[in-house]
Chains A and B, each alone.
Chain A
Amino acid sequence: MSEYIISINDKKKKVFYSGNSKISVGNDEYECDLVHLEAQNYLLRVNNIFFEAVSNKLDNERFSILINGSLFEIEVRSSLQEKARELLQQKESAHHKTEIKAPMPGMILRIKKNVSENVEQGETVLILEAMKMENDLRAPRTGIIKEIFVEERIAVEKGAVLFTIE
């Protein structure tokens, strides 16, 4: 008998796995069956419905799972892991800093904000050119630009930290 906390689409779901074919998600109990087809492909039966699933393990806690064409990014933690994480987060939030990373490789076309300038949530901070298109990178929250790590006309890799907001 294991208990897990699942984070999916900013929601948390409690999942009980009894070790046999019974699994409950929140208050719903299902009878399930999972067949490994090949590589990352699985066939999942939930009661009387079959789902095609493709799983991509991102790290020990995170999976990206495609179910019938819809893609989900999921974090799975045992109840214990989840509690430890929550404690850690409470400590960190005392001085909160958000990192904004490049969503794809490309070239920094323009930087519209300066360090220590205020930004509103949704405001464009810089423009990244990739695939012949200009993409606005916006502030995910309101705050002050703490650091900018890039310059105009330079190329960046996917995942590179571009700037931070405090």
Chain B
Amino acid sequence: MIKKILIANRGEIAVRVIRACREMGIKSAAVYSDADKTSLHTRLADESYYIGESAASQSYLNQSKLITLAKKIKADAIHPGYGFLSENAEFIKLCEKEKLNFIGPSFKSVEMMGSKTAARGLMSKSSVPIVPGTTKAISSITEGIKSANEIGFPILLKAAAGGGGKGMRKISSEKEFGDAVEATKREALKAFGDDSIYIEKYIENPRHIEVQVIADKHGNYAHLFERECSIQRRHQKIIEESPSSFVDEDTRDRITEAAVNAAKACGYFNAGTIEFLMDKDRNFYFLEMNTRLQVEHPVTELISGIDLVQEQILIASGEKLSFKQEDLKINGHAFECRVYAEDPENNFLPSTGTLIEYKIPSGPGVRVDDGFGKGSEISIYYDPLISKLVSWAKDRTAAIERMKRALSEYQVAGVINNIQFLKSVFNDEKFRRGQIDINYLERELENLIRATLEGKNKNELEDAAAIVSVLLKEKLSGKNYRWLNPETSKVNNNRWQDLMYE
């Protein structure tokens, strides 16, 4: 069994791993950069080591520093969290060479799933549905039209060398085909220096549905149902839930089976996630596999009762899965929202600063995974995630109400944040009815921002703020400031309070 884990990450996910370690009686060692001296993970870990300058390349991405440190402090395993080195096959190889237990999959699995085209090929051989399309670049317009008709319009023309949304064009009918091919080729040549293009089926307003899988080193595989992550902005997930309100029993059976097949195809062990796009008829298509712990894993933990991080550690130690597939059932409904230091009213511009106030919600069915405390610094160097706020209740509606309650208890000052914006999503009728897809947020953005402003700038709050500011100004200007209510001033004259606060 593993005795000491070096956590090669920061923020909330480092804290999450520390918590699992503590419950299992394993020693945790955190690392921190200059920018993270005030972060929570450095305070909570059994030991914390300075790893380098703030830039990730000098700290959390510096493989040799991490390996040297792990050996020096006699850690026997490394947990990579998500992001940074979590899906870096070279780093996994290096760990193996240095006899350090990497808490994750083998480098072979990571390599097999790392390339999108290779993964697509592997999936189509393993009865996992992929988005229908041509496998090779199209050679002529007539040939292209023939393929397009086989796939069925609308289709998407894509530059083979493309990425980042460039060199893509939606085509709804045969008429548009010729002109669109020419234009896309020109664009592709300009952007990528290669004008080969291929055809993919265009999926209109799909939902993002993903399946949590887990496997040990003894060939036992299981899934922990699906999550829906359709609330996204620029491919960044903002709100996730489990189960999906759209997936019925039959679809669940099929999509979870496909996900387990995908994991088996790459000889996977560790926790992993298979992402799919789902169209309005509940057809689903493989998107990619994430060979690591996912940011949104808490919703799965709450509905399944399984601690995924502890399970990861057991698997890396060579243990078998602690449960069987047939032991699992979906219990209730969970939401997660990502609380970011960003300004929704100002094009979601990230915000930096010191948390001068930080009070987290609690009460029944509320979980906060965070990496900062009062006085922590949110810097420019990393992702602006403050925390993940998670709610659980017996059904979707109750979980929504619980999340709204939790959001209204959350108090953050010092950085601009998206808490009010999240509230306006949980208040939105379409969201509440589950009428969502990956384009929902962009489509509804104007309404949501308006609701955010209305919720925030309520007259009673404005007046209260005005009163506080006037009273403080009076105090500053040295005018006979005193507590307004004589009863209160008595409390403040209490000797015990004087001792405590003076």
| Given A32-B484, A54-B411, A55-B468: A2 in contact with B479 (beta carbons within 8 A) | yes
B485 touches A33 (CB 8 A): yes
Partner of A70, one of B346, B382, B384, B420: B420
B356 touches A131 (CB 8 A): no
B470 touches A67 (CB 8 A): no
B470 touches A40 (CB 8 A): no
Question: Is B73 located at the chain interface by the 8 A CB criterion?
Answer: no
Q: A20–B470 Cα gap in the complex (Å)? A: 13
Among B16-24, B122-130, B454-462, the stretch that binds chain A is B454-462
Question: Is B474 located at the chain interface by the 8 A CB criterion?
Answer: yes
Kindly supply a per-residue 1/0 record for chain A positions 134-166, scoring 1 wherever the CB is within 8 Å of any chain B CB and 0 otherwise. Answer: 011010000000000000000000100000000
B470 touches A130 (CB 8 A): no
Residues of A within 8 A of B356 (CB): 40, 54, 56
A57 touches B472 (CB 8 A): yes
Residues of B within 8 A of A36 (CB): 492
Q: Which of B444-493 contact A (CB under 8 A)?
A: 455-458, 460-474, 476, 479-480, 483-485, 488, 491-492
Point out which of B382, B468, B488 has the most chain A C-beta atoms below 10 A from its C-beta: B468
Partner of A103, one of B349, B384, B488: B349
B488 touches A33 (CB 8 A): yes
A13 touches B420 (CB 8 A): no
Question: Is B14 located at the chain interface by the 8 A CB criterion?
Answer: no
Chain A, interface SS category: strand
Q: A67–B469 Cα gap in the complex (Å)? A: 11
Residue count of chain A within 8 Å CB distance of chain B: 61
Residues of B within 8 A of A30 (CB): 463, 467
Q: How far is the CB of A4 from chain B (nearest CB, A)?
A: 5
Residues of A within 8 A of B349 (CB): 103-104, 135
Q: How many A-B residue pairs have CB under 8 A?
A: 162
Partner of B464, one of A46, A135, A136: A46
Partner of B470, one of A51, A76, A136: A76
Residues of B within 8 A of A60 (CB): 476
Residues of A within 8 A of B469 (CB): 6, 55, 63, 65, 74, 76
* Chain B residue, CB-CB nearest to A133: B350
Residue count of chain B within 8 Å CB distance of chain A: 53
Q: How far is the CB of B356 from chain A (nearest CB, A)?
A: 6
* Chain B residue, CB-CB nearest to A42: B468
Q: A65–B471 Cα gap in the complex (Å)? A: 12
Q: Which of B411-461 contact A (CB under 8 A)?
A: 411-414, 416, 419-420, 455-458, 460-461
Q: Which of A17-70 contact B (CB under 8 A)?
A: 17, 19-21, 23, 25-26, 28, 30, 32-36, 38, 40-42, 44, 46, 49, 51-57, 60, 63-70
B484 touches A63 (CB 8 A): no
B466 touches A8 (CB 8 A): yes
Residues of A within 8 A of B465 (CB): 8, 53, 65, 67, 70, 72, 74
Question: Is A15 located at the chain interface by the 8 A CB criterion?
Answer: yes
Residues of A within 8 A of B407 (CB): 69
* Chain A residue, CB-CB nearest to B485: A33
| Given A41-B357, A44-B467, A104-B380: A2 in contact with B413 (beta carbons within 8 A) | no
Q: How far is the CB of A71 from chain B (nearest CB, A)?
A: 6
Question: Is A121 located at the chain interface by the 8 A CB criterion?
Answer: no
Residues of B within 8 A of A2 (CB): 470, 474, 479
Q: A149–B263 Cα gap in the complex (Å)? A: 54
Known: A15-B466, A53-B468, A68-B408. 8 other contacts (CB 8 A): A6-B469, A9-B462, A23-B467, A25-B463, A25-B467, A32-B471, A35-B492, A60-B476
Across the A-B interface, the 7 shortest Cβ-Cβ residue pairs? A66-B413, A54-B357, A33-B485, A131-B350, A72-B465, A21-B484, A6-B466
